[in-house]
Each structure stands twice: as structure tokens, then as C-alpha cells.
Amino acid sequence: MNRPSWQIGPDSTSEVRRYSRVAFTTEAGVRLADCPIAYSSWGTLNEAGDNCIVVCHALTGNTDAADWWSGLVGSGRVLDTDRYFVICLNVPGSPYGSIGPLTVNPETGVRYGAAFPAFTVRDTVAIHRIVLEDLGVTQVVLAAGGSLGGMQAAEWAFETDFVKTAAIVACGASHSPWCIGWSNAQRAAIMADAAFEGGAYELDHQPTAGLAVARQIAMMTYRSFGEFYDRFGRRLSDDGSSFSVSTYLDYQGQKLVSRFDANCYIALTRTMDSHDIRRDRSELTCCPTLVVGITTDVLYPLDEQKLLSETLPDSELAILDSPFGHDAFLIEQNKLNALISEWLNKIKRTRRSFATHVACDA
């Protein structure tokens, strides 16, 4: 296998910047002297620094939100790059520029690999806030994301001195035993690959078989029974050697292998497992929040979003009706843009103190 190039790619719509000089101590007490954080941004930060929108990416996502969320990010969309400074910061543990298993540990001179320290979702938001404040951001108008991005948005909602509103899409109040089980199965597939070598593999000898299987497992949770049935049925592949759904899953596994790192996948799924907004919080005080659930999401069933909305003291539930399961937050972008826009416009109409701060009218 050719060594992957850990970057967004030649067709990216954004320039990836890398912010270094971030000293950080994780929740577990691990002190890191320099934690580079990659980000992409669009629009211009105003003089007051209070027109920022934070977009949070999902598990294998990158910072190019204008590409994977083009229906929401851009001129005239809810995340309006003409009016706001829109920024997407890369999650620690990712292979796309932030500190992670691919980063060289300055204490040892070799990559962290499997020894990369655990980052919680709360750690991610904390280190991202450091970067934002160093960039001159004084207020976040909206923090929004889906799946792992939704978990980050949920944590941003508790930064009430800094964040005005949050949109949490396709996740629950905590990572459920159901979700942790799926994550564990994916990690087990990677670790069972003989090439994994305890996480000490060379980059040009990745545990590709295990990582591909992990992606196949994940793909079965990202869509719905009905969508798979309608899309594939019991049809055979073109050469008749397997079912077409098997061919699809094989393709998705190989596609991820060409652009991702196995240790990074393990680290990020563990970050997702840490998600629990109630952990170590005696009170749940948050900014106005929209919780969006998807009707056919089998990974984060709609009841989880209902519970999350009931748990957060200042929230509203919106339902995205779609046959595409969990991935609807990436597929049904026009519908999602409309749901968030409608809610933000309501906030602006009904709360005068938000009139000059909240993104709306998209």
C-alpha cells in the first residue's frame, strides 16, 4: 500500500492552517507542551471578534466544512460566510493536522502511535477554545455539528460565557452502551489484524484489513434498513460473485483505508465513548440549543434526541425526516439548513437580546 497523504486533498475548497504553541493538560492530567491544532476558516472576523460560527466535524471528517456541509456553509446559507467568520477546527486524534497518533512525541522523538494520550470530547472543546481566543474570537454566535460534531456542539453549549447558541445534530446526551459496543467491535477488528502489532505498525504497513472491516461495521450503522433494502435488495454484483451490498461495503472499507490511520480511528472512537454531558456537572446550564434527531437513525435513535432535549434546560427538538439513517445529517443538507435557520430566526424574533448576535435569515 502507498503511504497515505494526510491532508484534505487537491480539490479542497479551503486552506488548512495549523495553530501551534498550545500547551494543554487533558482531563486525565496529561500535560502536553505543544498541541498543534489544524483548522480551516471562511469569512472575516470582525473587529469586536464576536461574529464567529464554529462548525464541528464528525469521526473521519476533516476541516473542509464548506465541502462536506456545502448546503449549510456558504453565502446565503445558515452558516453564512459573507456575514460571519466560520471556522472548523480539527479534533485531536485525527490524522488531518491536529495533535494525534501521527504526531511526533517531543519527549521520545517518535510518533505517539497507540500511546497517544486520551482526549475526551470536553478536552477537544477546551483546547479549541484556547485556539479561538488566541485568534481573537470573543464570542461564538453558533456552534453546530453532527455525530461526533454534535457531541462537541453539546459541550460548547455549556460555554455560556462564550457561546450564544448551539445546534446539536444526531447524537445523544451521552454515548450509549449500544454505541460503545459498536465502537468496541470496530476497534477489535483493527486490533485483530496481525499487521496492527499493538499499534506499533509503520505507516506504509497499516492494518488495512482490520481498518476496512471496522469501516464496514460502521457503515451498517450509518444508514437504515429501508434505505439498504431499497438501494440493494438481494441483487448480485455485476460479476455475480457476491451481493451488491457486499460490494458496496468492500468499497467503503477500501476508500477509508486510502485516507485514514488505524491508531487515529481507535483514538477518535474512544473520544466519542467519553461523551456524557452530565458527567461531573451538578447543574446543566447551557445556551439556547437546537437538538436535531433523524427519524431512521439506528445509531442514535430519535428517543436519544428527545431525552437530550428534555435534559437541556433551554432547548428545542427538531426532527429531520429522512430514509438515510444517521448519514442524513450529511445527505439532507437543505432540510437541515432550513431547520436550523427556522430555529435561529425564532430565537431572534422572541429574544431581543439575541437580535444582533444570532445567525439567521438563511
- Per annotation, catalytic residue among 326, 327, 341, 357: 326
- SS3 category, 41: strand
Question: pTM (2 decimals)?
Answer: 0.94
Q: Give CA–CA dist 18/231, Å, rounded.
A: 40
Architecture (CATH level 2) of domain 178-273: Orthogonal Bundle (1.10)
Q: Where are the alpha helices (DSSP H) in 97-243?
A: 121-134, 148-156, 177-191, 208-222, 225-232
Domain with CATH 3.40.50.1820 in the chain: 17-175+278-354
- Per annotation, catalytic residue among 123, 193, 273, 297: 297
Judge whether 297 counts as a catalytic residue. yes
Domain with CATH 1.10.1740.110 in the chain: 178-273
Judge whether 75 counts as a catalytic residue. no
Burial class (CB in 10 A: 0-12, 13-18, 19+), 233: exposed
The CATH number for 17-175+278-354, chosen from 3.40.50.1820, 3.40.50.2000, 3.40.50.300, 3.30.70.20, is: 3.40.50.1820
**Tens digit of each residue's pLDDT (9 = 90 or more) over 254-288:** 999 999 999 999 999 999 999 999 999 999 999 99
- Per annotation, catalytic residue among 40, 147, 322, 341: 147
pLDDT the model gives residue 360:
60
- SS3 category, 97: coil
Per residue of the chain (362 residues), give pLDDT as tens. Answer: 333 333 443 344 567 898 887 899 999 999 999 999 999 999 999 999 999 999 999 999 999 999 999 999 999 999 999 999 999 999 999 999 999 999 999 989 999 999 999 999 999 999 999 999 999 999 999 999 999 999 999 999 999 999 999 999 999 999 999 999 999 999 999 999 999 999 999 999 999 999 999 999 999 999 999 999 999 999 998 888 899 999 999 999 999 999 999 999 999 999 999 999 999 999 999 999 999 999 999 999 999 999 999 999 999 999 999 999 999 999 999 999 999 999 999 998 888 666 556 666 65
Judge whether 147 counts as a catalytic residue. yes
- Helix, strand, coil shares, percent, the chain, to 5: 40, 15, 45
